[in-house]
Structure 1
Amino acid sequence: MELYGRYFRTYRKLFFFAVFFVFLETMVDLLQPTLMARIIDDGIRRGEVSRVLQLGGLMLGATALGAGFAALRNILASRVSQRFGQELREDLFRQTLYLGEGEADALGSGSLVTRLTNDTAQCMQFANGMMRIFFKAPITALGSVILAFLLSPQLSLVLFLLLLVVGVLITLSMRLSYTRFAWVQKAMDQLNAKVQEYLLGIRLVKTYGRHETEREKFEGVNGELEKRSMASQRVIAWFSPLLTLTLSLGIALVLYLGSYMFSRGEIEVGKIAAYISYMTQILSSIIMITNIFNTFVRTKASSARILEVLDSPGEAQTKGESLGQALKVLAFDEVSFAYPAGSGVPALKKVTFTLAAGETLAVIGSTGSGKSTLSWLLLRFYEPSDGCITLNGQDIQTLDPGEIRQRIALAPQKPQLFSGTVRENIAWGRPDAPAKDEEWAARTAMAEEFILKMPKGYDSPLRQGGVNLSGGQKQRISIARALAKRGEILILDDATSALDALTEAKVRSALRRIFPKPMTFLITQRVSTAMGADRILVLEEGSVAGWGTHGELLKSCAIYRELYDSQIGLEEKSYGE
C-alpha cells in the first residue's frame, strides 16, 4: 500500500528483522506435527520410551525456541508500529495546519479529527499485525499445504478443492466489505462533527434548553453509525461461519478417507495425526487470513482518507516571492469572491479601495455584507474569484502567504484563547516579544487592570478557550495579542463587540496613540467605532455602497446615514428634545 511504502523505508531494517523472526517462528510451528508423527510411529507404536523422550524433548526445545522468536518479533513490531503511528499523526497534523480554508471546509473538522485518530489507529493496527501475524498466516498456510501434500498426495486432493472454495468465499467477502467499511468511516465523521458542535455550543444549548433536540440529533448520527457498522459486520457474520463450516467439512472428509486408507495399510496413524494437525493449522491460518483481509479492507479505506489529506496541495507547498520592503500601500481592485461549495451568491462584488501605511480604514455594514471576507482574502485563506489584491503594487497571489501573515496582526470577531498563561496568550503571535511589549499591549487593550487582579497576574493560567474569563476580557486579551505582534497591518474584526461603550472608547483612544501606527482595519457594525477612522468603507450585500470620511458619508451615503440615525442620531435627537 502506498501509505506504508512512504513510511516503512525508514524502518526497513527493523521490518525485515521482524519478518525474519516471524519466518523462523513459523518454521518451528510447522516442525511440530512432523515431530508428533515421529513420536507416534517411531516411539509409541514400537514401545521405545527413550525415542519418545528424545523426540518429546526436541518438541519442547522447538516450542521454547519458537516462543523466543515470537517475543522478538512482537517487540520489533510494536516498536515499528508505534513509531509509524507517531510520525503519521505528526505529518497529518502538520498538513492540517497548512490546509487551505477551502480544503478544510470541504473535509470538515469532524472528518479531520476522525482521520487523525480513528483512521491513524486503524493503520497502526494493520502495521503491527503485518509484522506479527499477517506474514505468519500465509507462510503457515503455504507450509502446511506443502508438508501435508508430502505426507499424502491422495488426501491433498480434498485439501486443494477446499482451498479453491475458501478462495472464492474470501474474494466475495472483500468485495462486499470495502464499500461498507468506507461508509462506516463517513458515519464516524458525522458523529465526531456532531459531538464537536455540541461541545462548542454547550452553554447555548443549556441556555435555550435544547438538550432533547441535541440528544435526538446525536441519536440520529449514532444510529446511522450503528446501521452502517452492522451492515459491514453482517458480511463477516455470514462469511466467517461459512469458512469454518467448509474447513470443518474438509477435516471430516480427510478423517474418513484417512481411516479408509489406514485400513488398507496405505498410511500410518502418525501421518494421519500429522495431516490433521496440518489441516488444523491451515484452518487457523485461513481464518486468520480472512481476518487479515477484513482488516485490510478497513485499513484501505482509512489509508485512502489519510492520503487525501497528506496529498492535498495545502499552503505548505504554496511559496511565492518576498515582499521585502516595508508595506506602503494596500489596494483591492475590482475584487469579487464567492465561498467554495457555498450558496454560489458572491460575498464580495467588485470591491475597490486603497489604503496607505499609517491610515485607519473602518469597514461597516449589516450582517452578511462581506466585511470579514475582506480580511480572509487579505490573509490568503481564500483567493479572489475576480480582481486582485496588491501590496506595494504586487499581486498577493505571487507573494509567500507565510510572509504576508507575518506582517498582519488579527483580533478576530470570536476571540480564541489557548490553554496556558495570560502572558503566553498575549505573546502567542510573537513568542520572542519582550515582557515590556506584552505589558504595553495589555495596557493599550485595557486588559492590564483585570490581569493584575488575577491570582498570578500575567502568569495566571487560562483554560482551553479562555472559559475562565468573561467575553469582554477574552476580547481584550485577543486585542493585546494582536498589538504585541507589532504587525504592519492590524485587523480588528468586530473585536470590541463585547466591550461597553466607555471601555471601547478608551481602547480606540489608546490605539490612536500607537507609534509607529500600523495600517489598521476596523471591521465593525458600530458607527461610533467607525466615525473616527481616516476612511470608511460601507458594504451592502458585498458591494461598495459608500467610501469617504464620516462627514462625507453622512451627506452622500443613505445606508451609512440610516446606520448613524439608528445607532446615534435618533438618540441625540431624543436627548435634545
Structure 2
Amino acid sequence: MTLYYNYLAKYKIPFLIAVLCVTLEAVCDLLGPTLMARIINQGIEKGSLAEVYYWGTLMLAVTLLGACFAVTRSNLASYVSQRMGGDLRADLFGKIISFAEQSGDKIDGGSLITRMINDTSQIIQFINGMMRIFLKAPLTGIGSVILASWLNFRLSLIIYGVVAVVSLLIYASMKFSYPRFYQLQKAVDRVNLKVQEYLIGIRLVKAFGTYEQETEKFAEANRELMQKGISSQMVITLISPFLTLVVGTGTAAVIFLGSRLFMMDLADLGDMMAFTIYMAQILTSLIMITTVFTTFVRTKASMERIGEVLDCAEDFAPSGAERKLQGKITFDKVTFAYPNGSGVPAIRELSFTVNPGGSLAIIGPTGSGKSTIAWLLLRFYDADRGRIMLDDYPIQELGADEIRHNIAIVPQKSMLFSGTVAENLRWGDKQASPEELRQAAEKAQADFIGQMTEGYDSLLGSEGVNLSGGQKQRLSLARALLKKAPVLILDDATSALDAVTEAKVRENLKHNDYRQTLLIITQRCGTAMSADQILVMENGREAGLGSHEELMRACAIYQDIYHTQLQSSREA
C-alpha cells in the first residue's frame, strides 16, 4: 500500500481539498434532518410561519452549499484518479521495458496486458470512488448515529445493534471474497493470453485449419472466467439480502418503538421524522460501506498483481559510457542454464575466441544452444560459470548501453513494427540519411523496397504482415547493417532466402566499408563455410571447432550434417 500512498502524495493538495469537500458535504447532509425537525417542532406544530421560513431558508442554503462541495470533490476526484492512473501505467510500461529476461519469462504477455489495463483501471476506479463516495459513507454513517443518539437515545440502541450485525457481515464478505477475486483476475489473464496467441498465430491457425481446437481452448478459458466471476460474486449476492433484512428490521423496530414513545410523549414528531431519515442515511451508508469493502477486495488483488510487476528484477543499469569496442569476443568455460527452466544447462564449458573483424559460424542440431550464445553475449542472461568478454572487458563490467550499442543482431524471427519502411530501418540509426538507407538496403538485397507503392515511405502492418518471410529477413538485415556495430550477430538470418540471394548478401558482408566481427548462427553448411571458423555444437557442448576442411576430417557430427544436406540437395 505504501507504493500507492507515494503516488497519491504527488497530488496531495487536490486530494486533501477533495477530502475536505467530502467532509463538508457530509456535514451538510447530516444537518438536513435536524433542520427539518426544527421546521416541524418549532414552526408547524407551534403554527409559526416565521420559524418555518427561517429554518426552511437555512435548510435550502445548507443543501445548495452541499451541492457545491459535491461538484468540487467530483472534479478533483476525477483529476487525481486519472493522473495517478496515467503515472501508474507509465511506470508499469517503463518497468516492463527494463525487465530482465527472467522477469519476462516469469509473467507472460497476456497477464502483463491485463495488469496494465484491467488492474490499473480497477485502482483508478477505487481512488475515484474513495474521494467521491467511499469517504462520505463512513462520515455520514457515524454522523447519523451520533445525531440520532442525540435526538433520542432510547431509539439509538436499535441502531447500535444493526451496526454490530452489519459489521460482522461485512467482515465475512471480505474474508471469503478476496481469494475469489484474486482467482478471477488470473482467469482474465488466461482469456487475454488465448486471444493474444490466436491473433499472433492467426495465419498458422488458418493454415492448419485448427479453428475448432482454438475455439475449444478459448471456450475453456472463457468458461473458467465465467465460473470464477460467479464464484466471486456469490458471497456478495448471498450477504446483500441479509444486510437489507437486518437494516429493514432495524427500521421497522425504530418506527414501532418510536410510535410507542410518541404516544407516551417521550418523543416529538419532528424528532421522529428526523430519526427515520437518519436511519435511512445509515442504511445507505452501510450498503455503500459494503460496496467499499467489496471494491477494496478487488483493488487489493489488483494492487498485489501490479506490485508483482513493479518488484520484478530489472535489466542491469547502463554505465553512461560510450566506448566504441573493436569487436573481439571471448567465451571462457561458460556454463549456463535458463532460470525457471528444466535445470539442464543449455551450454556447458564452452570456450572460443573471435578476433576483431573475424567471423565464426555456429552450427548444430536444434536445441544445441546456438541462440543461447547470442542471448548471453547481449547479456539478456548472465552465465552461471565462466567468463564472457568483449575486447578483453568482462561483460559484467560493461553497461547495457555499451554492450548493445556495440552489437547488432538479426534475430531468428524477424520482428518489424507498424510504421513506414524507413522508420523500421532507422531503428539501426535514427539519423540515417535517405542515401544511407538505400545503401543498407542494397547490401541486404532488399531491392523490393523500390517496387513498393510509396518506396521507403510505404506502411508496414504490425510484425510486417504485408511482407513475405524473405522480405522481412532482408529488412531486418538492412536495419542491423545501418547500426554499423563492431559485432554483427546473424541468428539464422538468411533461412528464408534462396541460395543466390544469400550468396550475394554474404559477399556484401565481406566487402563492408567498416570492419565488423560476424557471429553467424545457422543450420546450413553452405552458410557456415563462408566463415573463418566453424563451431559445431551438440547438447550445449563444443563438438568441433575449425575450418570446413578441418571439420570434415575430424568432426563426425559436422560430417553427418554436411552429407545429410548434400543428399537432400541432390534429391531436390
TM-score scaled to structure 1, two decimals? Answer: 0.96
Distance in structure 1 (CA, Å) of the matches to 2:433 and 2:356: 25
Instruction: Judge conservation of contact 1:321–1:399 (CA < 8 Å) in 2.
Output: no
Aligned to 1:436: 435
Q: How do 1:225-240 residues align onto structure 2 when only pairs under 5 Å count?
A: 225-240=225-240
Residues 1:379 and 1:37: Cα distance change in structure 2 (over 3 Å): same
| Equivalent position amino acid for 1:550 in 2 | H
| Equivalent position amino acid for 2:235 in 1 | V
CA deviation vs aligned residue, 1:531-558 (integer Å, no higher than 9, x gap): 0101111111211111011111111111
Displacement of 1:160 in angstroms is 1.1
Aligned to 1:499: 497
Aligned to 1:129: 129
Instruction: Judge conservation of contact 1:3–1:303 (CA < 8 Å) in 2.
Output: no
| Equivalent position amino acid for 2:395 in 1 | I
Aligned to 1:288: 288
Instruction: Judge conservation of contact 2:325–2:390 (CA < 8 Å) in 1.
Output: no
Displacement of 1:38 in angstroms is 1.5
SS of match in other structure, 1:324: coil
CA deviation vs aligned residue, 1:409-439 (integer Å, no higher than 9, x gap): 1111111111111001001132122332222
Task: Tell which deviates more after alignment, 383-392 or 286-295.
Answer: 383-392
Distance in structure 1 (CA, Å) of the matches to 2:259 and 2:568: 106
| Equivalent position amino acid for 1:499 in 2 | L
Residues 1:570 and 1:137: Cα distance change in structure 2 (over 3 Å): closer
Q: How do 1:464-503 residues align onto structure 2 when only pairs under 5 Å count?
A: 464-503=462-501
Instruction: Judge conservation of contact 2:198–2:214 (CA < 8 Å) in 1.
Output: yes
Question: Residue 355 in 1 paired to residue 338 in 2?
Answer: no
Displacement of 1:334 in angstroms is 1.2
Aligned to 1:70: 70
Q: How do 1:295-374 residues align onto structure 2 when only pairs under 5 Å count?
A: 295-315=295-315, 318-319=317-318, 322=321, 324=323, 326-374=325-373
Distance in structure 2 (CA, Å) of the matches to 1:415 and 1:53: 80
Aligned to 1:509: 507
Distance in structure 2 (CA, Å) of the matches to 1:87 and 1:211: 40
Aligned to 2:255: 255
Which among 550, 554, 557 is matched to residue 556 of structure 1?
554
Distance in structure 2 (CA, Å) of the matches to 1:104 and 1:326: 29
Q: How many residues align?
A: 572
Distance in structure 1 (CA, Å) of the matches to 2:456 and 2:61: 67
Distance in structure 1 (CA, Å) of the matches to 2:324 and 2:521: 26
Residues 1:73 and 1:571: Cα distance change in structure 2 (over 3 Å): closer
Question: Residue 522 in 1 paired to residue 520 in 2?
Answer: yes
Structure 1 runs not aligned, ≥5 long: none
Aligned to 1:30: 30
Distance in structure 2 (CA, Å) of the matches to 1:3 and 1:240: 32
SS of match in other structure, 2:389: strand
Distance in structure 1 (CA, Å) of the matches to 2:185 and 2:428: 36
| Equivalent position amino acid for 1:14 in 2 | P
Displacement of 1:319 in angstroms is 4.8
Instruction: Judge conservation of contact 1:356–1:519 (CA < 8 Å) in 2.
Output: yes
Q: How do 1:381-400 residues align onto structure 2 when only pairs under 5 Å count?
A: 381-400=380-399
Task: Tell which deviates more after alignment, 171-180 or 38-47.
Answer: 38-47
Sequence identity, in percent? 52
Aligned to 1:203: 203
Aligned to 1:224: 224
Residues 1:507 and 1:63: Cα distance change in structure 2 (over 3 Å): same
Displacement of 1:267 in angstroms is 0.5
SS of match in other structure, 2:417: coil
Aligned to 1:406: 405
CA deviation vs aligned residue, 1:241-287 (integer Å, no higher than 9, x gap): 11111111111111111111111000011101111111111110111
Structure 2 runs not aligned, ≥5 long: none
Displacement of 1:188 in angstroms is 1.2
Aligned to 2:95: 95
Instruction: Judge conservation of contact 2:327–2:487 (CA < 8 Å) in 1.
Output: no
Displacement of 1:4 in angstroms is 1.8
Question: Residue 86 in 1 paired to residue 73 in 2?
Answer: no
SS of match in other structure, 1:499: coil
Displacement of 1:312 in angstroms is 2.1
SS of match in other structure, 1:487: coil
SS of match in other structure, 1:416: coil
Distance in structure 1 (CA, Å) of the matches to 2:188 and 2:327: 49
Distance in structure 1 (CA, Å) of the matches to 2:227 and 2:382: 40
Displacement of 1:321 in angstroms is 8.6
Instruction: Judge conservation of contact 1:323–1:399 (CA < 8 Å) in 2.
Output: no
Distance in structure 2 (CA, Å) of the matches to 1:526 and 1:417: 24
Displacement of 1:326 in angstroms is 2.3
SS of match in other structure, 1:155: helix
Distance in structure 2 (CA, Å) of the matches to 1:392 and 1:529: 26
| Equivalent position amino acid for 2:28 in 1 | V
Displacement of 1:48 in angstroms is 3.1
Aligned to 1:376: 375
CA deviation vs aligned residue, 1:451-482 (integer Å, no higher than 9, x gap): 11111111111111111111111111011111
Distance in structure 1 (CA, Å) of the matches to 2:318 and 2:465: 37
Displacement of 1:343 in angstroms is 2.0
